Chains A and B, each alone.
Chain A
Amino acid sequence: MSRKPKQAPRKHPIDRRVISDFLPPEGVPIRFEVASIGARFGAQLLDILLTGLIVLTLFVLLIMSGILSIEITIAISALLFFALRVPYYVVAELLWNGQTLGKRITGLRVISGDGRSLSAYAVTIRNMMKEMEVFVPGVYLLAAPALDGWTQLILLVWVVILLFVPLRSKRNRRLGDIIANTYVVNLPRSVLLPDLARTIAQNKVSSEFTFLPHHLDHYGRYELQTLETLLQVNMNKLDPAARDRHVKTIFKVASTIANRIEFNEVIPEAKTRRFLESFYHTQRAYLENRKLFGDAREDKFHKTDA
């Protein structure tokens, strides 16, 4: 058996739960987070419950009001239940830009796989397939005890296949999604934390410690951004125990970095954080500069010329 030669020493595992090659017409790829199967199941369940509840309330109100006879009320409710299946989902996803009531509550959204806007056709076909994927098995499952053995077996196989498709599919797509070329994603939330480089520059921290080029050749993007995450933690929001832990982590990280880059000055205990901030600032400026010159360093395993 032939083996491929070993590639680069380490690669960050590609996250299967993220769509990173989604290309809008502007030509800049953007990222979407794929909705989990649990969230999608929840949204579907909420949709069924909510719409069912609406029809049920209407039904009870009609009966209580006594305007129409019971047979007609039943007939109207039956028609409404029919409209609740495919038409409700199609109209809701068209009018609310890829969201139904359940998806609104769980924060999910349907997007079109080709980077254009969601077409009426895509919405229609993905929800027509829902008839085969969700409602028909669902209705038969409720009636399962009354069915004969063969029908139960076929039903079981059908349900297992249907469950298997989104589990095996790379981006949790069900059959309808695959045919319509749509994805269901989490609605992104945007939080903008302050720019560390700016706060550090404003506090004039950067001039306290001096780093030389050989100090800065050790780390790459990954370590820099991990350090950023650590420094972005808001100490005031932590409870005392967590704050203690955080302070200890800062000490540990600082000593590890100092060892690794062979920084020989003594770092006073009170200035540990300042040391890290200063290092972050200088390291980021250095790495960004290297990147501009075509030497993008992914992590500490990068190759240096030296």
Chain B
Amino acid sequence: MSDAFLMRSARFRKEREADWKRLEALITRVEKRGLNSLEFEQARDLATLYRQAMNSLSLAREISLDKSLLFYLESLCARAYLAVYAPQESLRGLMARLFIYGMPGAVRRCAPQILIAFLTLGLGALAGYFLFVEDPTWYNTIMPPELADTRGINSSREDLLSVIYDSERDALAAFTAFASFLFSHNTQIAIFIFSLGVLVCLPSFMLTFYNGLVIGVFVALHIDRGIGYDIAAWLSIHGVTELSAIVIACAGGFTLGLAVLFPGELTRGEALRRSGRDAVKLAILAAIMLVVAAILEGFFRQIVQNPETRLIVGWGIGGLWLAYFLLVGHKRPGTS
């Protein structure tokens, strides 16, 4: 029968139905096997058919009361949208962008927060040191027992030295230490410091300060026994990286907290979303630095027994981090 007997919306549907079916077949394929499974012509058709379907949808909403058609087009367009606007970037490209531009750029942009975090940690350490000088029993109050292991205020100079220059662990023990480190104290602290920053900076500030306190009393104990140089070397080899990681995690938390405290002309949610971009990069960076610190602690601290070499390795790697933050990724391709 001729189309003339059909009402307008039925004709509209009849003319386009074949294209929609073709689009549906393409989408089904993409959903099952991914966008890469399409031939060149198919990919080109997908884009064209998608735009046509969107057009049909907006037209159908105006001229048709056919419920089955409207529902079908709604779902078809939604699926086509998901197929067409899938994340296109390869994992490698993403990683390259993150390492070359993302993280160093975030560090440079958040330099003030990082400075504040460093000051917080330093203040904590100073406070811890002076507390110990005033009354050594502060050590027991401040130091978490699981961190202190055998080293307490009653340890002699020889006990402490034996921990610092202990070379009896083999590679196996070193690897286990590395794995367990990832779940241990500092990683937890870094996670908490970062994500609690949302609560107007205070928890981040307190945790970082407390971390400083722990370091302060720990160093003070060793200085008291006259082995300040050795403990500095022992801490440096991994501590430079590890404490920087904690400071960076804290700066990430501060970035979030500052957005909540001083959103400027944006709404708080919007400010949080914007500053989140840098904060997340800082958090990823902190995680990577913690892994590096774990490798240093697990392997190199046992292999390298000489305090001078320990200092050189520790601060050398610290210098490399600094060079990475300051020098890498200033120019983006495409921007003049």
Contacts and interface: CB of A to CB of B under 8 A. Distances in A.
Contacts of B168: none
B69 interface: yes
B54 interface: yes
Contacts of B76: 188, 190
Contact of B273 (A25, A179, A196, A291): A179
Interface stretch (A7-15, A109-117, A236-244): A109-117
B91 interface: yes
B151 interface: no
Interface in B259-286: 269, 272-273, 276-277, 280, 283-284
A contact patch SS: helix
Interface string B206-236: 0000000000000000000000000000000
Contacts of A75: 175-176, 178-180
A197 B182 contact: no
B86 A82 contact: no
Contact of A181 (B65, B78, B175, B273): B273
Interface in A112-126: 116-121, 123-125
Given A91-B91, A117-B87, A179-B272, A197 B82 contact: no
Contacts of A188: 74-76, 78-79
Given A125-B280, A128-B283, A111 B82 contact: yes
A221 interface: yes
Residue of A26, A91, A94 with highest tally of chain B CB at under 10 A: A26
A71 B176 contact: yes
A224 interface: yes
Interface in B23-73: 24, 31, 51, 54-55, 57-58, 62-69, 71-72
A197 B74 contact: no
CB-based closest 9 A-B pairs: A188-B75, A75-B179, A193-B68, A190-B75, A117-B85, A97-B86, A225-B67, A197-B10, A192-B72
A228 B74 contact: no
Contacts of A69: 172
Contact of B1 (A79, A98, A192, A202): A202
Contact of B68 (A117, A124, A189, A192): A192
Contact of A94 (B5, B55, B63, B94): B94
Contacts of A285: 7
Interface of A: 24-26, 28, 30-32, 69, 71-72, 74-76, 78-79, 82, 91, 94-95, 97-98, 109, 111, 116-121, 123-125, 128-129, 131-132, 136, 178-181, 187-198, 201-202, 221, 224-225, 228-229, 232, 281, 284-285, 287-288, 291-292
Nearest to B20: A192
B14 interface: yes
A272 B85 CA distance: 48
26 contacts: A28-B55, A28-B77, A69-B172, A74-B179, A78-B180, A82-B182, A82-B183, A118-B87, A120-B87, A120-B89, A120-B94, A123-B87, A191-B72, A192-B68, A193-B68, A194-B68, A195-B13, A195-B69, A197-B7, A197-B9, A198-B14, A221-B65, A225-B65, A225-B67, A229-B67, A291-B62
